[in-house]
Structure 1
Amino acid sequence: MMRSVITLCFCVVLSGCSSLFSAKIPDWWTHTPVDSEQWMYGVGEGANADIAQQQALTYIAGKLKTRVSSQLSVKTTETNTYYAQYAERNIRSSIQNTDLSHFQIQERVVDSSAHITRVLIRLDRQALAQAWRNQYQELSQKVTQARQREAAQSLFAWWMNARATLPVAQQADVLALQLGALLNRKSTSNLWTDLQQLIRQTPIQVGVDGDNSAISQQVTDLLNQQELRVVRCSSCDLKLSYHTKVDYQKIFDQQVATLEFYGELKDAHGLVSQQHWIVQGSSITNTSFAYKAASAKAAEYIQKHGLWKSFGLDQD
Structure 2
Amino acid sequence: MESNKYALSIPLVLAFFTAFCFAGNIPEWVVNPAEDSAELIYGVGEGESLNTATKSALEYIAGKLVTSIESQLTMQTSAVNDRVDSRVQSKLRSQIGNTLISGYDIDVSDKSGKRYFVRVKVDRQKLFESNNKALQNALAFLSQYLGDNTTMSVMQVLKQERMLNKSLREAQQKAYVVQALAGSSQVAASQQKINQYQQVLTNKLNDLVVYVEASQDLQPLARQLVERLSDEGVRATTRKPSGKSPRVVLQGRFNKTVRFEQKYVVANTSIDVYDEFSNTLSSRQLRIDGQAYMSHESAITAAINKASQELAEDGVAESLGLL
Give the TM-score normalised by the residue count of structure 2.
0.60
Q: Sort the Cα spacing of 1:48 and 1:136 in 2 relative to 1 into closer, same or farther, 3 A.
A: same
Q: CA deviation at 1:240?
A: 0.9
Structure 2 match to 1:143? 142
Verify: 1:311 aligned to 2:315, yes or no.
no
Pairing 1:241–2:227 present: no
Structure 1's unaligned 5+ residue stretches are 1-20, 247-257
- Equivalent residue letter for 2:132: R
CA drift of 1:242 comes to: 3.1
Query: Shift of the alpha carbon at 1:60?
Result: 2.2
CA distance in 2, matches of 1:97, 1:280: 58
Whether contact under 8 Å (1:215, 1:298) holds in the other structure is: no
Number of aligned residue pairs = 272
1:252 equivalent in structure 2:
none
Q: Which amino acid aligns with 2:41?
A: M
For 1:239, give the aligned amino acid.
Answer: R
Partner of 1:196: 198
Q: Is the 8 A contact 1:154 1:269 kept in 2?
A: no
The equivalent residue for 1:43 is 44
Spell out, residue by residue over 1:76-107, the C-alpha distance to the aligned partner (whole angstroms, 9 max, x if none). Answer: 27xx869x969859995782772214433333
Give me the TM-score of the superposition, normalised by structure 1. Answer: 0.61
Are 1:208 and 2:212 matched, yes or no? yes
Do residues 266 (structure 1) and 278 (structure 2) align?
Answer: no
CA distance in structure 2 between the partners assigned to 1:138 and 1:118 by the alignment: 36
Identity %, equivalent residues: 20
Aligned AA for 2:138? Answer: L
Q: How does 1:161-240 map to 2 (within 5 A)?
A: 163=161, 165-183=164-182, 185=184, 188=188, 189-199=191-201, 206-210=210-214, 211=218, 212=221, 213-220=223-230, 222=232, 225=233, 232-233=240-241, 236-240=244-248
Residues 209 and 235, structure 2, Cα contact 8 Å, conserved in 1: no
Unaligned runs of 5+ in 2: 1-21, 255-265, 291-297
SS at match of 1:98: helix
Counterpart of 1:5 in structure 2 is none
How big is the shift at 1:128?
A: 0.9
Letter in 2 for 1:297: Q
1:45 partner letter? E
Residue 311 of structure 1: how far off its partner (Å): 1.1
Aligned to 1:122: 121
Task: Give 1:52's aligned residue.
Answer: 53
Conserved 8 A contact 1:259-1:294: no
Helix, strand or coil at the partner of 2:74: helix
The residue identity in structure 1 corresponding to 2:59 is T
State the alpha-carbon separation in 2 of the partners of residues 92 and 242 from structure 1: 48
TM-aligned CA deviation for residue 137 of structure 1 = 2.0
- How far residue 289 of structure 1 moved from its aligned partner, in angstroms, is 9.0
The 3 A distance-change label for structure 1 pair 183 and 96 is closer
CA distance in 1, matches of 2:305, 2:54: 58
Distance 1:161 1:289 in 2: 32
Contact 2:62 2:97 in 1 (8 A): no
* Distance in structure 2 (CA, Å) of the matches to 1:277 and 1:71: 57
